[in-house]
Chains A and B, each alone.
Chain A
Amino acid sequence: MSNQQLDGAQALIKTLDELGIEYIFGYSGGAAIPIFDALETVKTRMKFILVRHEQGAVHMADGYARATGRPAAVLVTSGPGAGNTVTGLMTAMMDSVPMLVICGQTVTWMLGKDAFQEADIFGITIPVVKHNYLVKDTNALPRIAREAYHIATTGRPGPVLIDVPKNISQGPFTGDLDAGFDLPGYHPETAMQIDEAATKQAADLISKSKRPVILVGQGCMISRADKELLALAEKLNAPVTSTLLGKGVFPETHPLSLGMLGMHGTAYANKAMVECDLLLNIGSRFDDRIIGQPAKFCKDAPVIHIDIDPAEMGKMIVPDVQIVGDARAAINAILPLVGKLDTTEWLWKLDSYKKKYPLGYKKQGGLRMQQVIDELYQLTEGRAIISTDVGQHQMWAAQFYKNDKSYHWLSSGGAGTMGFGFPAAIGAQLACPDSLVISISGDGGFQMTLFELATAALHKLPIKIVVLNNHYLGMVRQWQELFYEDRTSGVDLVGNPDFCKLAEAYGIPSVYIKRPADVTRMLRKALDYNDGPILIHAECVKTDNVFPMIPAGAALEDMIIEAPKHRMAKPVGST
C-alpha cells in the first residue's frame, strides 16, 4: 500500500503498529468509525479488545502497562466515550503509568459548536495527562503518534491523549510516515546525567550513617533498578522499605526488607522511619500517605532524594541532598563511592520490632480478608501478579501478599480509584498470558467495573477474580468507627448481588467461601481451574479494621498498632 492510498486513520494505525503497540482496548462510536475501519483495512500485529465501558479500557491499558512497563493503546469515540476515560487517565497520571488514548472527535468545522457527541476532551483532560493533542492536520498524525509514545514512555511516564476529528482521520494522507519529533521543550535524556557533586554529598552522608533506611518507590521500578538496588542495600547492609507502588522492586522476603511503610504500613517500617539517622529515597514522591505530618517526618535525619522529576524536589519534604535523574543511573553513581556500614545494632533493633509487632490476624470469629489473602500468598508461593482495588482489602493485600519481583503488584495508589483492580487484571493477563493473575477486590469496587466480566469470559482469561465481600465500604466505615463515633453514613452496601450467580450469568464458574476452615480447599480448587476466569466469592467479617494505622496528617510516631480503646480526634490530613 503506497502512502497516496492511505487515509489519516490508516496512517495512524500503521504508526501505532510500528511503535510496537500490542493491544488496543476500546469502544466504538460515530466519530471513531474511520479509525475502527482502519483496524480492518490495515494489516497489523495489534489485537483489539472490545470492552464494555470506556473506563474498563483505560484501566486495562493501565494494568497492561503496570505488568510490563510498556504502553498499550485505548481507542474511544468522542463526547461520552472520551469523557469516560477521565478517571482512568487521572489514575494513570497519578501513578506515572504510560498509555496512549486516542479519541474520535467531531469534524473540525463543528468544534465548539455543540455538535452531537462533541466534548472539549483536549481541555477537559489537560490536568490529568502528561500531554495531549488535538490534531488539525491529517499529515501530522504519524508524527503526533510517535511523539505521544515517546512522551508517554520516557522521563517520568504518563498517559498521553490524542483527539482526532473525523475529517482528519478520514482525510487523505500525503505526508511522511516517519516524520521526526517536534519537541523542543522535552529532553528526557538529561535524566541520565547524574550530578557528580550531589552524588558525592550523598555518598558522604550515607558513609556517616549508622541507622540508614532506603525508601524505594515506583521510580526505582520504572528505571529497572532492581539489581542495582539489591546490590546497594546488600553492600551497605541497610534496611529497605517500599511504598505501595514500589512493592516488589526490592524482594519483600529479603531479610533487609521492612515491607511497606505509611498509613497502613508495617509498624517496623514506620518505626525505622522515626528512628533512622539517614533516609535515602529512591524514586518515591513522598506521598502524604507515607509521610504523615511533613514537619515531623524524619526531622532528625538528613534526607537524600533521588527522583527523575525535578518538580518533586521539595514538594513535600525538602531534601538535604537532591539528585534529579534516573534511579538506576543514580544508584550506579553512588555504588562505587560507598562501602559496608556498621548497621549491626540498627538491624538488630529493627528485628526486635519485627518480632514485637508482626502483621497478624485472628482466625476466630468469622472469615477475615487477611486470611484469604495470606493463604493465596502461601498457595501461590508469592509468584502471582496481584491486581487490587481500593480500600481495606488493598491494604491487607499489600501487607500479606509479599512481592519479590517488579511489575507483579498493580494497585491504584495516588488516585485510589475504586473499580480499577478487575479491569487492570484483564490487561495484565493479556500482557502476560502465562502468568498467574489474581484480581482482589472488595464488594464495592468490584461492582464499579464488574461489566468487564464479559470481556474476561469472552477471551477465556484464566484470572482468579477474588471478591472479598463485607457488605460495606469498609475503609470509610473504619474511619467512621474510629473518628466519627461509629456513625456509619453511606457505606452499607445492602442490596449486593449474589456474586456467584452473577458470574454464572456470564458463564464464569465460581467458588464460595464462608468458613475460615474452607479457605485452603476452595482457593486450591479455584487456582486449579485454568480454562477461563473463575470468581472466588468470600463472605467476610463485616466490621474488621486495618492496623497498623497512622491517622491522616498525624506523625509516624503516632501510629496506632492495634484497635484503640479510647475515642480519637478527627484526622487533620488529606482525606
Chain B
Amino acid sequence: MSHTIVTTDTPVEAPLIPRGPMHTLSILVNNQPGVLMRICQVFSRRGFNIDSLVVSEGRNANFSRMTIGVSGDPEGLSQIIMQVGKLIDVIHCFEHTSENSVTKEMILIKLRCSPEERSMALQINEHFNGKTVDLTPTSMIVMLNGDSPKIDAAVSMFSQFNIIETVRTGKVVMARGEQPT
C-alpha cells in the first residue's frame, strides 16, 4: 500500500479573490469556552477572512489575548470591530496600525539541505538573526522572528534550497509607549 503525502507547502500565487488592505486587531477577551467561536462568527458573517490568528492566556489567567490579522474594506471592518466589541465576553477590541504598534511573528522553516549547501543556508540564517533548532545530515530547521516583511524576505532567500515546509505563528501586536494594546 502506498501513501501520497500531500504537501500544502508548495508556493502558489496570491489568492484570486481581492482581499483589500491588511488590518491588525487586538482583542482582550474573557477566558471562556466558545469565545473564539463567537468572534470568528462575526467575521465570517460579514464575509471577512481571517489571515492570521494568535490566542494565548493573558497575565491574568481570567483573560486571553487575541491578535487577528484580517483583510477587507475598512468600512466593513469598523463595523466588525464594534460588533466584536459588544460581545459579552469581549473586554475590548482595538485596531492597531504599524505606526502606533510593534508587530512580530515567528517562523520555522524546514529545509532539505546537503552538507555542501549547509554553510550557505547557515549564512543566510545568520543574516536574518535566525537560529538553527534542528540539524540532520540531510535537513535543518531554522527559526526566525521579526515583522512580516522580514519573514517574507527570509522565506524568499531560503527558497533557493528545497523548503520541505514552513510554519508561521501569525503575528502578535503590541501598542507602542504606555498605551494599552
Type the 1/0 row for B35-57, where 1 means its CB is closer than 8 Å to any CB of A: 00110010001000000000000
Interface 9-residue window, one of A181-189, A347-355, A423-431: A181-189
Task: Kindly state the separation between the CA atoms of A122 and B92 in the bound complex, as whole angstroms.
Answer: 23
Please tell me if A569 contacts chain B, counting CB pairs below 8 Å: no
Q: How large is the interface on A (under 10, 10 to 19, 20 to 34, 35 or more residues)?
A: 10 to 19
Cβ of B91 within 8 Å of any chain A Cβ, yes or no, is yes
How many Å lie between the Cα of A484 and that of B86 in the bound state?
A: 41
How long is the Cα–Cα vector from A84 to B39 in the complex, in angstroms? 25
- Does B83 have its Cβ within 8 Å of any Cβ on chain A? yes
Interfacial residues of chain B within 15-62, with CB under 8 A of chain A in the complex: 29-30, 33-34, 37-38, 41, 45, 62
B93, closest chain A residue (CB): A185
Say whether A311 faces chain B, with CB atoms less than 8 Å apart.
yes
A311 to B41, CA, bound (A): 15
Interface centre among B45, B82, B87 (most CB of A within 10 A): B82
Nearest A residue (CB) for B91: A185
Within 8 A of A (CB), among B70-84: 75, 78-79, 82-83
Query: In the bound complex, do residue A311 and residue B91 qualify as a contact, i.e. CB atoms below 8 Å apart?
Result: no
Cross-chain contact A315 with B79 (CB below 8 angstroms): yes
A126 an interface residue at 8 Å Cβ cutoff?
Answer: yes
User: Is A310 touching B82 in the complex (CB atoms < 8 A)?
Assistant: yes
In the complex, what distance in Å separates the CA atom of A313 from the CA atom of B75?
Answer: 12
How far apart are A182's CB and chain B's nearest CB, in angstroms?
Answer: 8
Give residues 86-109 of B contacting A (CB, 8 Å).
86-92
Q: B90: nearest residue on chain A (CB-CB)? A: A185
Partner of B34, one of A126, A130, A185, A310: A126
With most chain A CB atoms within 10 A of its CB, the pick from B29, B30, B88, B89 is B88
Is A515 engaged at the interface, CB distance under 8 Å to the other chain? no
B146 CB within 8 Å of chain A:
no
B170 within 8 Å of A (CB atoms): no
- Of A127, A134, A185, most buried by chain B (CB within 10 Å of CB) is A185
List A residues 292-351 near B (Cβ within 8 Å): 309-311, 313-315
Q: Which of A126, A183, A185 is within 8 Å of B29, CB to CB?
A: A185
Q: Decide: B33 and A134 in contact? CB cutoff 8 A.
A: yes
Please determine whether A134 and B34 come into contact, CB atoms closer than 8 angstroms: yes
Q: Can you name the residue of chain A whose Cβ is closest to the Cβ of B78?
A: A314
Shortest CB-to-CB span from A260 to chain B, Å, is: 27
- Are A122 and B91 in touch, CB under 8 angstroms? no
Whether the Cβ atoms of B79 and A130 lie closer than 8 Å is no
Determine if B82 and A313 form an interchain contact, defined as CB atoms under 8 angstroms apart: yes
> Cα distance A315–B62 when bound, in Å?
32
B30 touches A314 (CB 8 A): no
- B62: chain A residues within 8 A (beta carbon): 184
What B residues does A186 contact at CB under 8 A?
Answer: 88
Which residues from B are CB-within-8-Å of A310? 82, 85-86
Chain B residues bordering chain A, tally (CB within 8 A): 23
Task: Report whether A185 and B82 are in contact in the complex, using a CB–CB cutoff of 8 Å.
Answer: no
- Contact residues in A for B78 (Cβ distance below 8 Å): 314
Residues of B within 8 A of A526 (CB): none
A559 interface residue (CB < 8 Å to B): no
Residues in B whose Cβ lies below 8 Å from that of A123: 34, 37
Say if the beta carbon of A151 comes within 8 Å of chain B: yes
A-chain residues with CB within 8 Å of residue B34 when the two chains form the complex: 122-123, 126, 132, 134
A406-457 residues with Cβ-Cβ distance < 8 A to B are none
Query: Which residue from A127, A134, A311 sits with its C-beta under 8 Å from B79?
Result: A311
Report Cα–Cα, A126/B89, bound state, in Å. 12
Contact call A183/B88, Cβ cutoff below 8 A: yes
Query: A363 → chain B, closest Cβ, in Å?
Result: 47
Cβ B30 vs Cβ A185 within 8 A: yes
Q: Establish whether residues A311 and B86, one from each chain, have CB atoms under 8 Å apart when the complex forms.
A: yes
A186 to B29, CA, bound (A): 11
Closest chain-B Cβ to A569's Cβ sits at a distance in Å of: 27
Residues of B within 8 A of A52 (CB): none
Q: How far is the CB of B94 from chain A (nearest CB, A)?
A: 14
Partner of A185, one of B41, B79, B89: B89
CB-defined contacts of A183 to chain B, threshold 8 Å: 88
> A541–B135 Cα gap in the complex (Å)?
84
Residue A131 is within 8 A (CB to CB) of chain B in the complex: yes
B interface list, Cβ under 8 A from A: 29-30, 33-34, 37-38, 41, 45, 62-63, 75, 78-79, 82-83, 85-92
With contacts A309-B86, A314-B78 known, what are 4 further pairs, Cβ within 8 A?
A126-B34, A131-B89, A134-B34, A311-B85
A: which residues have CB within 8 A of B? Answer: 122-123, 126-127, 130-132, 134, 151, 183-186, 309-311, 313-315
Some 19 contacts from A to B, beta carbons below 8 A apart, are A122-B34, A123-B34, A126-B37, A127-B41, A127-B45, A134-B34, A151-B88, A184-B30, A184-B62, A185-B30, A185-B88, A185-B89, A185-B91, A185-B92, A311-B82, A311-B86, A313-B82, A314-B75, A314-B78
- Counting from the closest, the 9 A-B pairs by CB-CB distance are A311-B82, A131-B88, A185-B91, A311-B83, A186-B88, A185-B90, A310-B82, A311-B86, A127-B41
